[in-house]
Amino acid sequence: MWEQIKSNRLRSAVLVVFMGALLLAVGYFIGLYLIGSWQGGLAIAAVVWAVMGLVAFFQGDSILLGVSKARKIGKQDDPALYNVVEEMSLAAGLPKIPDVYIIDDPALNAFATGRDPKKSAVAITAGLRAKLTRDELQGVMAHEIGHIKNRDVMYMSIASVMLGAIVILSWYATRVMFLGGGNRNRNNSGGGGAGEMIIMVIGLLLLILAPLFAQLLYLATSRKREYLADASSALYTRYPEGLASALEKMATSSGTPVKAANKATAPMYIINPFGKKQAVNAWASTHPPITERVRILRSMGKNDSLAAYEQAYKQLHNGHGVVPKSALKTS
């Protein structure tokens, strides 16, 4: 899926630019209100942007695994799981088998992370590991390996860390402002009080809404990536029913949240990790509806090709497709 890989690289770059611009805007108003120098605020935001971007690229996977409280296991710890990951990695043509992690949590969920296919990892909760048959486990691991193959993991790692930086800065700044802190010696000469008040209100609104804007930007393409990973799973396993059955089991237990999940890491998981119902508005949801994903997979029947997934997807989306044209030509 070279089109999807190229698209993910482009989206990662665009995401860094847009999140950086949002971070600079937050920094501008932080500097203006808290330290009396918008230049200083921009400088601080620029440094945070650069540092967080580098950290996300080189250590984003380690951070996300740490935040998720995942522990690395070896083949001797769970031979069956390890064998499934090896099989699906070979089916996907990965140059290196991803590291395998277990999250000691009763919730049913899984995710993949990393920088590229040569540096990646898959993680599964202990609850999900205990519930799945081998065919279902193959479906879930193939889905996560699909994310790795399609270079979704780099996008998600960068987006998660950048979103975290914006949330933290905005939270800090709004708390200081509401508590009456900040620089109170800003220039009040020349009758600029009204104009300054307007700027302060705009800045306050931005600080409050910035995390929401960043979250919506993050979610803009996350749902499409889930559909493509489902299609990849069907292709690698040659058995769409495996993932469909696993998703149904996860849906029945979706009331149990993943304890370590947060807004920055939520889109990484195979289903919504908060134990809540899917959002009423599709644009505000971290994932496509599970029932829809299962229906598409089941509509494929015994045909496990990407073309079959594309046709099933189009039937539910008024003729709109999701699989890149180049992938359809080679499937």
Q: Which residues are catalytic?
A: 144
- Cα–Cα distance list, 258 to 23, 62, 106, 153, 231 (Å): 28, 18, 8, 20, 25
Name 119's Cβ contacts closer than 8 Å, sequence gap at least 6. Answer: 61, 96
Structure token pair of residue 42: 């921009």
Structure token pair of residue 48: 């945070």
Strand partners of residue 73: 100
* Phi then psi dihedrals of residue 124, to 5 deg: -140, 140
Per-residue buried b or exposed e for 101-139, using 16+ beta carbons within 10 Å of the residue's own CB: bbbebebbbbbbbbbebebbbbbbbebbbebbeeebbbb
Amino acid at 80: A
Which of 194, 223, 236 shows the shortest CA–CA distance to 331?
Answer: 236
Is residue 148 within 8 Å of residue 117, measured between CB atoms? Answer: yes
Query: How many other CB atoms are found less than 10 A from the CB of residue 69?
Result: 14
- Rounded Cα distance between 87 and 105, Å, is 25
Query: How many other CB atoms are found less than 10 A from the CB of residue 328?
Result: 16
Amino acid at 328: L
| First-residue to last-residue Cα distance in the chain | 10
Element (H, E) at 72: strand 70-73
